Chains A and B, each alone.
Chain A
Amino acid sequence: MSNLPVLPVALPMAAGIALIFLRNSPSLSRAVALVANLIVLVLAAQLVETVRIDGVQVLNFGEWPAPFGIVFAVDMLSALMVLVTMVVSSATLLFATVSLDDARERTFFYPLFQFLLVGVNGSFLTGDLFNLFVWFEVLLISSYGLLALGSERYQLQETFKYLVINALSSTLFLIGVALIYSLTGTLNMADIAVKFPQISDKGSAGAVAIVFMLVFGIKGALFPVYQWLPRAYFAPPAVISGLFGGLLTKVGVYALYRVTSLFFVGNVNFVLPVLSFIAGATMLFGVLGALSQFDMKRVLSYHIISQIGYMIMGLAIFTPLALAGGVFYIIHHILVKTALFLVAGAVEATRGTTHLKRLGGIVDTSPVLTGLFFVAGLALAGAPPLSGFVAKFMLMQGGLEQHFYIMVGASVVTGFLTLFSMMKIFRYAFWSPEQVPFSGRGGHATRLVSITILVGLGIVLGLGAGFAMPYATIAAEQLIDPSAYIAAVLGSQAR
């Protein structure tokens, strides 16, 4: 047993606490935050390799044996999620250091950022259901702070709504925890996976499934409970929207992957058919919402929703190929979506607006930014040879093999509409002549560096899919057959 699994939580927490005291020196804060992020990035990469070589990593806190104490259990999906979290958060942090105004930097942006990472990484790593609730609260409370940072009127009112809907879903989460505890008598996820099939009352098991689908549906912005997302993500500066759009909804998606594969598949019959309906509806309604918008940040926010549909599509098909495609899609989406939001942030920082009808001519003032947006937009729409193509290809192949023709049809339509919507942004904001005369300075080079890192990884992930795919395949196999996960967590008890 090594302490590696706890470090992605412990180090950001230590950094966050230290950063509280450094609030009056922004330059020192930036350095500390960046260094802490890069250290955790290296550790996360090491964690992925450890899991690939040695299998599932388990850490029993306080040496309490598994079903009694709290455990961190890291399989390939968890490790990959932590790694990609650290990649995008490092790039976002780099972007934030040159984009945020002084007031926001001084009012605890960096500590809140680190505490958000504590919550996100904790949610990915934990192997205990109640502990998952606690990490959700950690990340949510940090996200309330980040959303409201700046205290503009629009931010405050949207944060209030965001807080209410999330407090409500946390209440539902606790109802689910109480139900599952009274049915199985345990909260350790591996132990629940063993005991869930033994529940005699199938109706109650179904009720648990409904509660958890609703909870993680709200957190992950699935149809029909996604309406909170576009407004909330429009409110803060684009850096913060980018971080949220990349990471937060994906925590909900990850949790849904986890509970569905461990508890519900094979025990509650209606979960996968319902999820396949939800996946198709989420894709279509999200992309139709995006088509109706004329603001870059809003269009991108609606695309988050439609792409979450693809991730749930992988889960709903539940074959090794489709699940690997779903995992690949999550990673691709986190990188590319954050990159697109950062492009919007760079546009916002130089032009002062992201409204498409007030932009234009960016191709003349910053050609590099235009190129980055073009590549990222194509990757999002799924053009070969970029990362989105590989992920969508696997999902559709998996769907056709299992005869999910309607859902595959919906995903093809969504892909075309996504391309259309990206071209709309490209045409209005970048390609067309200036609609409002602009005579400002060009962008900041550091911003371009951080966007280039993310877009570059998107290209690498597409061209180097042969290298990246084994990791996604391992994650998918561990999801389909969780016996290794369960054995790793409960093994110490058998000894």
Chain B
Amino acid sequence: MDVPILLVIAVTLTCGMYMVLERTLLRVVIGLGLMSNGVNLMLLASGGLGAGTAPILHGQRDYGASPVDPLPQALILTAIVIGFGVTALLLTLAYRTYQSVGSDDLGELDGKLTDE
């Protein structure tokens, strides 16, 4: 189970990074979205993967054989919400930038660092 999920994480992160390095505003946004999904999978894998029982107490004192770790899921939930908010903001900002610059090419966004 470990190797397949590692491959999925690696491919998602690589594709995301490739798109972040593109010159089009929208592709950068999509690339960041892909990367945050890849990291969410990584958080999922950090708790250990495998068949375990649900970590819920049903009246008895212990969880049974081997409960799965519930914490990574809580982390992922938080990370998804934050990622969602940031992506929404990023899309809005990309659209407003496109409107005011008149181009979606990042090369046009080169703020001059010297006299203007």
Q: Which residues in A have some Cβ–Cβ distance to B below 8 Å?
A: 130, 134, 137, 141, 144, 148, 151, 153-154, 156-161, 163-164, 167-168, 170-171, 174-175, 177-179, 181-182, 187, 230-231, 234-235, 293-295, 298, 355
Can you give 30 contacting A-B residue pairs, CB < 8 Å?
A141-B89, A154-B111, A156-B97, A160-B94, A160-B97, A163-B93, A164-B20, A164-B90, A167-B32, A167-B90, A168-B32, A170-B82, A170-B86, A174-B40, A174-B43, A175-B39, A175-B42, A178-B39, A178-B45, A179-B46, A181-B46, A181-B71, A181-B72, A182-B46, A182-B47, A230-B113, A231-B111, A235-B111, A294-B114, A294-B115
Q: Which residues of B contact A168 (CB under 8 A)?
A: 20, 32, 35
Q: Which residues of B contact A134 (CB under 8 A)?
A: 78, 82
Given contacts A168-B20, A177-B43, A178-B45, contact A159 B78 (CB under 8 A): no
Smallest Cβ-Cβ distance to A158: which chain B residue: B111
Distance of A122 from chain B, by nearest CB (Å)? 14
Q: For the complex, what is the distance from the CA of A177 to the CA of B111, rounded to whole Å?
A: 34
Q: Which residues of B contact A182 (CB under 8 A)?
A: 45-48
Q: For the complex, what is the distance from the CA of A234 to the CA of B114, rounded to whole Å?
A: 12
Q: For the complex, what is the distance from the CA of A134 to the CA of B78, rounded to whole Å?
A: 8
Q: Which residues of B contact A231 (CB under 8 A)?
A: 111, 113
Smallest Cβ-Cβ distance to A357: which chain B residue: B115
Smallest Cβ-Cβ distance to B36: which chain A residue: A171
- Listed residue (A163, A170, A178, A235) with the most chain B CB atoms within 10 angstroms of its CB: A178
Distance of B16 from chain A, by nearest CB (Å)? 8
Distance of B11 from chain A, by nearest CB (Å)? 15
Q: For the complex, what is the distance from the CA of A187 to the CA of B43, rounded to whole Å?
A: 12
Smallest Cβ-Cβ distance to B35: which chain A residue: A171
Q: For the complex, what is the distance from the CA of A294 to the CA of B115, rounded to whole Å?
A: 8
Smallest Cβ-Cβ distance to A180: which chain B residue: B46
Establish whether residues B100 and A163, one from each chain, have CB atoms under 8 Å apart when the complex forms: no
Q: Which residues of B contact A148 (CB under 8 A)?
A: 93, 96
Q: For the complex, what is the distance from the CA of A362 to the CA of B89, rounded to whole Å?
A: 41
Q: For the complex, what is the distance from the CA of A181 to the CA of B35, rounded to whole Å?
A: 19
Q: Which residues of B contact A179 (CB under 8 A)?
A: 46
Distance of B72 from chain A, by nearest CB (Å)? 7
Q: Which residues of A contact B71 (CB under 8 A)?
A: 181, 187
Establish whether residues A156 and B93, one from each chain, have CB atoms under 8 Å apart when the complex forms: yes
Establish whether residues A144 and B89, one from each chain, have CB atoms under 8 Å apart when the complex forms: yes
Q: Which residues of A contact B28 (CB under 8 A)?
A: 164
Question: Does B56 sit at the interface, judged by CB under 8 A?
Answer: no
Q: Which residues of B contact A160 (CB under 8 A)?
A: 25, 90, 93-94, 97, 109
Establish whether residues B111 and A157, one from each chain, have CB atoms under 8 Å apart when the complex forms: yes
Given contacts A130-B75, A144-B93, A156-B93, contact A174 B109 (CB under 8 A): no
- Listed residue (A141, A175, A231, A235) with the most chain B CB atoms within 10 angstroms of its CB: A175
Chain B 36-72: CB-based contact to A (< 8 A → 1; otherwise 0): 1001101101111000000000000000000000011
Q: Which residues of A contact B111 (CB under 8 A)?
A: 154, 157-158, 231, 234-235
Q: Which residues of A contact B93 (CB under 8 A)?
A: 144, 148, 156, 159-160, 163
Q: For the complex, what is the distance from the CA of A175 to the CA of B9, rounded to whole Å?
A: 11
Q: Which residues of A contact B96 (CB under 8 A)?
A: 148, 151, 156
Q: Which residues of A contact B90 (CB under 8 A)?
A: 160, 163-164, 167
A156 partner, pick from B36, B85, B100, B115, beta carbons under 8 A: B100
Q: For the complex, what is the distance from the CA of A196 to the CA of B107, rounded to whole Å?
A: 44
Q: Could you tell me which residues of chain B, from 67 to 116, have a CB within 8 Å of some CB in chain A?
A: 71-72, 75, 78-79, 82, 85-86, 89-90, 93-94, 96-97, 100-101, 109, 111, 113-115
